[in-house]
Chains A and B, each alone.
Chain A
Amino acid sequence: MLEAKAITVRYGAREAVAGVTLSAELGLLTAIIGPNGAGKSTLMRALNGAKELSGGEILLDGKPLREFARRAVGRRIAVVAQESELRFPVTVMEFVLGGRYAWASTGAWGWETERDIEAAKRALFETELTDFAARLVSELSGGERQRVVLARALATEASILLLDEPTANLDLAHQAAMLSLVRERCDKRGASAVVVTHDVNLAAAFADRVLLIKGGRTLAAGAPREVLKPDTLRELFDIQVLVDEHPVTGAPRITPVLKHQERR
């Protein structure tokens, strides 16, 4: 379990994250929603120990995160970050096997074990990438690459998943497929996930809890039904929204009402 207690992260004098409390509990999927520049990505970096805290603390299984070796953190927390540029030809398989780094027994030189290969193959299967194993990552489309990055995170077999806009480049079907996969990890294997997303409806459909942040501060937190309300969302995005019930799932359904549409 990963807990952030009133954490603050500063860039110079500016507080990018100010006193945010959050816990990633067993089997739960938490969605973080907020406008651009709200501090979502910084919060995610902090949760993984990549950002120095200027206040509060982060506990991993009850112990301060900074007391863990990087390798130990790598086995417990998997990250899907916004993608970085690739300049070397690596195959999909090689890329996904990178997720097994933290499990190497004898230093970093170790070659992958059967168990590593198995974990990588399973992750490729789950993300529908089995046929892509020998392809070069640099030759894939944006959406395929994003699935490769998720496959690497799944291959770590970490119980905590931190995903920063994992669905940004995906088509409708793959967006749902990706979040279903994460949802399944939570439900069947007791994983916990924290997902940053701009898609409020996706969050409403998949998340157990939603955290709304603006200007680095928590605006509201709780179950989607309690938090995703017209007034709160209006405060969050400075835009009029309509919230009703999804006719099939019953989850809150959010529709932005744009100015030029108002009296049509």
Chain B
Amino acid sequence: MSLSADDKTASVAAGAAREARVTLRYSLVVLLLLTVFMLVVMVASSLLGSERLPVTATLCAIFTGGRGACELTSIESAIIFGVRLPRIALAATVGASLAAAGSGYQALLRNPLAEPYLLGISNGAAVGTMIALVFFGTGDTAEWSRPVMAFAGALCATFLVYRLARGRAGTSPERLILAGVIVTTFLSSVIVFVTTLMDATRIRSFTFWLLGDLSGSTAQMLTIAVVAALFGVIVLSMNARSLNLMMLGERDAFDLGVEVERVRLTVFLVASLLVGASVASSGSVGYVGLVVPHLVRLSVGSDNRLTIPAAALAGASFVIIADTVARTVIAPRELPVGAITALIGAPLFIYLLRRG
């Protein structure tokens, strides 16, 4: 899927290519293509960076897993295996998590504008992470306390925004966005408050992290995020057929045999887990959960059995590309990846809002 594709051509192409329904065969083909695209993006991204690496030797090193004789210096090898590839893996994980979580929230809240960052859920996870940082400091327990607290924070924010948005007539898009604004601003002030408790030297790296920063993670954190992402995407996909019906209205879904309460609880928990794990490892990367599911639905339709895994794969590619731009455009200095995703996401959000 081309992320720069113009809306109209994409939808015309989708209309022509799409049958009356999404089939298993079609889904597998789409997922395979997206996987190949993601792998290509990964390799291309590993070649780009502030340090110029010899292309052939780098490719040779990547495809032999560093064991072949590839004419790379030990420094170059360290850049690939110690810096770039782990960072690409983290970008993919965060992108997959946020895009899948976004699809989940959108189906559950019946709102194409629902997004972890805009609803304040990322901020909830950020508050959790910061509390863990302030109270548990660093060390082995701290490494675990951050994702756990981030998950708890995301869960609290999800619950809060859901309760605020739910009026007598259900959740209207406007009401949901307003609830998101309230939760976001409230949690932002909590973040400012916690920041003042830190010493001055950490504040700068903190502000950077808040906007989404893929550079500061550890191997253990990456492992936690990968496991959470795999688990989350699988569980969401397993609930996809129920979500297809809940997306059209919870009452209808109930009538058709969906155990609405159970599905809602599962999706809230799993989506919060995905957001929590990605925020704990790399801060709040905004708009991924909005941009990616939207483009996916535009190209392949709204069947969650396809859109959830497809959004995960496309989200992975999207964040890898955004992060590659973030670390190359003003090299050797870096931008936070969240700044790049927001630059793409905010205009799209305005477009979607205006279109109603």
Instruction: Identify the A interface with B (CB < 8 A).
Output: 48, 50, 69-75, 77-79, 81, 84-95, 97-99, 101-102, 104, 107-112, 133-134, 152, 156
With A97-B21, A101-B241 known as contacts, the answer to whether A74 contacts B255 (CB < 8 A) is yes
The 4 closest A-B pairs by CB, nearest first: A74-B257, A102-B257, A93-B20, A84-B249
B244 within 8 A of A: yes
Give the residues in chain B near A86, CB-CB below 8 Å. Answer: 248
A177 to chain B, nearest CB (A): 23
- Select which of A81, A89, A98 is within 8 A of B251 by beta carbon: A81
Give the residues in chain A near B19, CB-CB below 8 Å. Answer: 134
Give the residues in chain B near A88, CB-CB below 8 Å. Answer: 107, 110, 112, 247-248, 297, 302
In the docked arrangement, what's the CA distance between A79 and B258, Å? 13
Q: Mark B135-174, 1 if CB is under 8 A from A, else 0.
A: 0000000000000000000000000000000000000010
- Select which of A93, A101, A109, A133 is within 8 A of B256 by beta carbon: A101
Give the residues in chain B near A156, CB-CB below 8 Å. Answer: 256
Give the residues in chain A near B248, CB-CB below 8 Å. Answer: 84, 86, 88, 90, 95, 98
Contact of A73 with B257 in the complex, beta carbons under 8 Å: yes
Contact of A89 with B20 in the complex, beta carbons under 8 Å: no
With A94-B303, A98-B244, A111-B305 known as contacts, the answer to whether A84 contacts B254 (CB < 8 A) is no
B24 within 8 A of A: yes
B301 within 8 A of A: yes
A58 to chain B, nearest CB (A): 15
In the docked arrangement, what's the CA distance between A50 and B256, Å? 11
Segment among B232-240, B275-283, B321-329 that sits at the interface with chain A: B232-240
Contact of A109 with B241 in the complex, beta carbons under 8 Å: yes
Beyond A74-B257, A81-B255, A92-B20, list 5 extra A-B contacts (CB 8 Å): A72-B257, A74-B256, A94-B22, A101-B241, A101-B257
In the docked arrangement, what's the CA distance between A69 and B238, Å? 19
Contact of B112 with A48 in the complex, beta carbons under 8 Å: no
Give the residues in chain B near A77, CB-CB below 8 Å. Answer: 255
B111 within 8 A of A: yes
With A87-B112, A89-B297 known as contacts, the answer to whether A94 contacts B21 (CB < 8 A) is yes
- Select which of A50, A89, A102 is within 8 A of B302 by beta carbon: A89
B243-265 residues at the A interface, CB under 8 angstroms: 244-245, 247-249, 251-252, 254-259
Contact of A109 with B22 in the complex, beta carbons under 8 Å: no
Contact of B257 with A110 in the complex, beta carbons under 8 Å: no
Contact of B258 with A109 in the complex, beta carbons under 8 Å: no
Give the residues in chain A near B244, CB-CB below 8 Å. Answer: 90, 94, 98
27 contacts between A and B (CB under 8 A): A50-B251, A50-B254, A70-B257, A71-B257, A73-B257, A74-B256, A81-B251, A84-B251, A86-B248, A88-B297, A88-B302, A90-B301, A94-B21, A94-B244, A94-B301, A95-B248, A101-B242, A101-B256, A108-B242, A109-B237, A109-B238, A111-B23, A111-B24, A111-B305, A134-B18, A134-B19, A134-B20
Contact of B239 with A99 in the complex, beta carbons under 8 Å: no
With A50-B255, A84-B248, A88-B302 known as contacts, the answer to whether A108 contacts B239 (CB < 8 A) is yes
Of listed A84, A101, A108, A152, residue having the most chain B CB within 10 A: A108
B51 to chain A, nearest CB (A): 45
Contact of B21 with A93 in the complex, beta carbons under 8 Å: yes
Contact of A108 with B241 in the complex, beta carbons under 8 Å: yes
Of listed B19, B112, B241, B255, residue having the most chain A CB within 10 A: B255
B353 to chain A, nearest CB (A): 13
Q: Mark B215-237, 1 if CB is under 8 A from A, else 0.
A: 00000000000000000000001
Contact of B258 with A70 in the complex, beta carbons under 8 Å: yes
Contact of B252 with A75 in the complex, beta carbons under 8 Å: no
